[in-house]
A and B are shown apart, each in its own frame.
Chain A
Amino acid sequence: MEPQRTWSPARWVAALYLAAQVVIPLARARPSRVPPFSSRFSWSMFAGPLTARCAHRVTWTRGDGQEVPLPLPPEGHPVRALLLARTADEFVRASQPLVTYAEDDQEVSRALDEVLRRHKRAVDPRGERVLVSDLRCEAPYGAPFRRVLTLGLPR
């Protein structure tokens, strides 16, 4: 009778370790992302800083549509620089703490939306103002994109 072959714990650990590295990137693969393996859980240099160059403009209006100065966080706060950034260079610098190592360039707009929502709640708890953010980006080797976010539309 042939002796039964078993795997030592070392082999199980090794197999699991390798399987995890295949399964994690595959589980995070999305058809919209090029290439599918580019992520913070893979070995690409492009889980890296943003390559998009963006122009951003925020407007802050009263209920009657008149534009008023946007309340800003204190001097030195990274969100202040983000709200004030207009040129591409200013925006690249200011958006680093949003998505220091973005998985794709559009991640910046998703992270920016989240910060703007919190800013709106912080400075306008009664919902009397309207915040409009207009972000236009061009990536050197990707498709340009634009998104307009309006927070606090009059009811």
Chain B
Amino acid sequence: MSALDRPVDARLPAALRAGVAWLCLLGLWSDLPEWSRCFAVWSYGREAYLWAPWALVALAAVGALGLLHDHPRRASGALVLGALAGLYALVPATWHNNLYLLWLLVGACAFTPGPRAGLRWLLKEDRAPLPDEGPLLPWLVRTQLQVVYLGSVLVKLTHPWWSGTGQVLRWAATVRQPSQHHGWWNGLLAPLVSVPWVASLVDVGVTAGEATLPLFLVSPRWRGAALAAGALLHCAMQEWLFPQLFSFLMLLGYFAFGPVGDRAWGVRWDPETRWASALGAWGERLDWLGRARWEPAAGAAFRVTDPAGRALDGPLAVALLAPLTPATVLVYALLALGDGGRLAAAREPLENAVVAAALVAWAAARVRLTAAWSAP
């Protein structure tokens, strides 16, 4: 039986559909300030038609809400696809390849068969089980991500700014980022990346990474390492370059490569401890892919056990659970895009700090988990 015939646990497609719809709404919201200026220029001298691009944005938002609800799935998806295509036809200046990736993923989510779920179902405390569905949507998402990486490598190998020269990275660090963004990662990176040989090295490293990721992602042996490396790459790109929707669409797509419903992790919390009970209840609710066994039990206040049987106690253990659910990506996207670009001067440094803290917490939890295992 090939990968295109084997049924999959429907929780994965449900999470992918809700995630893409959520990112569509956030993408529309965060593009509005930029688009309103594009519309003003487009309608200059023909002000009577200014309503037309705004109407298309509104239709796309209505369609995205329908997709988030997962009903009516096809009509909602068609509305988003039609409205975004119409917007491109009317005001080409609004279009970006992030929107192209979103457009393709919306198409995949809307026109693949499967049981109805939606965000409301995902957020329910007691989710009724869904029947398995065809594997088409996860397969399309996985393939799409691999196409993105391979296409990007092709561009990097042929573009005179890349091709191992590192020119574009130096330009981004010294010209583009200081004039367009307010995050502090660029302040740390710019002195390094503006050194020609460092920029060349990073250029070759990124190209090599993007060329090998699609291969490692399909290898059962290397998939875990590839997912971690790819997630770090996208977090770094997001926090340095702020490429709108791109990072979140890719990070959400990574879940199509991972296991579903394996209950390989264990979470135990003390029902007598308030913070631990709250964490346990919310964690279980947000474990959309069924990756952990959740049990209230006396003992440690909050304990997470990994698939190898190693345990970590305390609130820091939550950092180990965050990468197991697509909900993390949706919250991250809300942090990055929720202000709609209106508070970028304050939000970008805050986003840098929150993501750095989350990565440090995750790394510390992994180190403590390993140390606990190797200790006598």
A interface residues, how many (CB within 8 angstroms): 47
Q: Roughly how many angstroms separate A35 CA and B135 CA in the complex, as a whole number? A: 35
B155, closest chain A residue (CB):
A44
Contact of B126 with A by CB under 8 A: no
Contact of B45 with A by CB under 8 A: yes
Q: Which residues of B contact A44 (CB under 8 A)?
A: 97, 151-152, 155, 159
Q: Roughly how many angstroms separate A42 CA and B159 CA in the complex, as a whole number? A: 13
Contact of A47 with B by CB under 8 A: yes
9 closest Cβ pairs, A-B complex: A118-B45, A43-B151, A97-B37, A35-B158, A44-B155, A101-B96, A43-B152, A122-B45, A97-B38
Q: Roughly how many angstroms separate A34 CA and B155 CA in the complex, as a whole number? A: 9
Known A43-B149, A49-B180, A82-B41; further 5 A-B contacts with Cβ < 8 A: A37-B154, A92-B179, A97-B41, A99-B93, A140-B167
B139, closest chain A residue (CB):
A14
Q: Which residues of B contact A34 (CB under 8 A)?
A: 158-160
Q: Which residues of A contact B37 (CB under 8 A)?
A: 78, 96-97
Contact of B90 with A by CB under 8 A: no
Q: Which residues of B contact A13 (CB under 8 A)?
A: 111-112, 136, 140
Contact of B44 with A by CB under 8 A: yes
Contact of A5 with B by CB under 8 A: no
Q: Roughly how many angstroms separate A100 CA and B168 CA in the complex, as a whole number? A: 18
Contact of B127 with A by CB under 8 A: no
Whether A118 pairs with B161 at a CB distance below 8 angstroms is no
B108, closest chain A residue (CB):
A17
What is the CB-to-nearest-CB distance from A61 to chain B, in angstroms, rounded to a whole number? 21
Whether A78 pairs with B108 at a CB distance below 8 angstroms is no
Task: Select which of B38, B111, B112, B155 is within 8 A of A43 by beta carbon.
Answer: B155
